[in-house]
Amino acid sequence: MNWVPFEWLQYSFMRNALMAMLMITPLFGMLGTMAVDNRMAFFSDALGHSALTGVALGVMLGARDQMVPMLCFGILWAVLITFVKHHSRMSADTIISVFSSTSIALGLVILARGGAFARYSGLLVGDILSIAPEELPLLLGVLVLTAAAWCVLFNPLLLTSVNLSLSQSRGIRARMTEYGFTVLVAVCVMVSIRWVGVMLINSLLILPAASARNVARSARSYLLVAVGISMSCGVLGLIVSYYINTSAGAAVVLICALVYFVTLPMRRR
């Protein structure tokens, strides 16, 4: 059995990582489609950065399980950015940038107190191999919840991305839809940040959807292809990282990027 390509599966940390990957990647493939459609790539990047503050707050509060403070902070932050965006005349990218840098700086200030940042620097790239079996159910729960929410949010998001006032004229509460979506992204970012990393999480959201756009011809195929690309790149990246002994998250993102460039010439127009 030594020579077969399943050698990596004999280690339990690889099996756990595979399970985690199979739950994280469809999440991001799914959410990415509408993040791209609604031009929110920059916004989700800011949410990724906010995870740093989330972890920092968790550490500061001395919480044994940092997940709760992280989730609370992520949701609060997402709602706050969206609220300020709606109620300010300033351009969205400026506002997002302000929030993004604030959260990075705040996170660093807290985590680096007493020169302890080295302990948390792993957060920047994440480490999916360190996931424990008891952490898998949370991912599964989030995946199920997100898929359910997605069924409700997909049509309104699609319509709003084409024309805001048209969607409003058809009784869609566009703002509520946007808040719902941002909260969803925040939750997904927070539950996966330790495994994917602050620097890479946005790529995982944007790249599969961007690649899917190159080949998809309908909303249905867009979503299916995005999830498909995301999942296969995830598994492939994990295997590659095992054999060349490198960061799994980075390998996944690199393969996603490769898929993007390969599919780029397939664009119709």
Partner 1 sequence: MSEMTRRLLRREMDQCRLCRIDVEHLGVVRDGQVLLSDVNLHIHCGELTALIGANGAGKTTLLRALLGQIEHTGSVHHVRGDGREVGAIRTGYVPQQLEFDRSSPVTVQDFLAAAMTRRPVFLGVSKKTRERITRALERTRSADLIRRPLGALSGGELQRVLLALALEPQPDLLILDEPVSGVDSNGLDDFYRIVSDLRRHQHLAILLVSHDLDVVRRYADRVVLVQGTVIAQGRPQAVFASEAFRQVFYSKEAVEE
| Among 68, 45, 46, CA closest to 57 | 68
Chain centroid to CA 53: how far? 16
Query: Toward partner 1, which CB reaches closer, 187 or 212?
Result: 212
Distance CA 81, CA 12 (A): 40
CB-based contacts of 90: which residues, under 8 Å, 6+ apart?
A: none
Applying CB under 8 A, among 165, 244, 245, 266 the residue interacting with partner 1 is 165
Instruction: Tell me: does residue 264 bind partner 1 (CB under 8 A).
Output: no
Rounded to a whole number of angstroms, the distance between the first and last alpha carbons of the chain is: 48
Chosen residue from 5, 87, 134, 170 binding partner 1 by CB under 8 A = 170
Q: For partner 1, what does the binding mask look like between residues 86 and 125, x meaning CB under 8 A? A: ----------------------------------------
Our finding on whether 184 is near partner 1 (CB under 8 A) is: no
Q: Which is nearer to partner 1, 117 or 154 (CB)?
A: 154
- Binding string, residues 126-155; x marks residues near partner 1 by CB under 8 A: ------------------------xxx-xx
- In sequence order, the 6+-apart residues with CB closer than 8 A to the CB of 206 are 32, 35, 36, 41, 44
37 contacts partner 1 (rule: CB under 8 A): yes
> Under a CB-based contact definition with an 8 Å cutoff, are residues 135 and 22 in contact?
no
Rounded least distance, CB 223 to partner 1, Å: 4
Identify the residue among 10, 11, 12, 39 touching partner 1 (CB under 8 A).
39
Find out whether 251 and 238 touch, Cβ atoms under 8 Å: yes
CB closer to partner 1, 55 vs 226 = 226
Q: Does 159 bind partner 1 (CB under 8 A)?
A: yes
Instruction: Looking at residues 191 to 250 of the shown chain, list those that interact with partner 1 (rule: CB under 8 A).
Output: 212-213, 216-224
Q: C-alpha dihedral over 158, 44, 248, 230, to 10 degrees?
A: 0
Alpha helices in 61-91 (DSSP H): 67-87
Query: Is residue 162 a contact point for partner 1 (CB under 8 A)?
Result: yes
Please, are residues 28 and 212 in contact by the beta-carbon 8 Å criterion?
A: no
How many residues comprise the chain?
269
Which residues are at the interface with partner 1 (CB under 8 A)? 37, 39, 150-152, 154-156, 158-159, 161-163, 165-170, 212-213, 216-224, 267-269
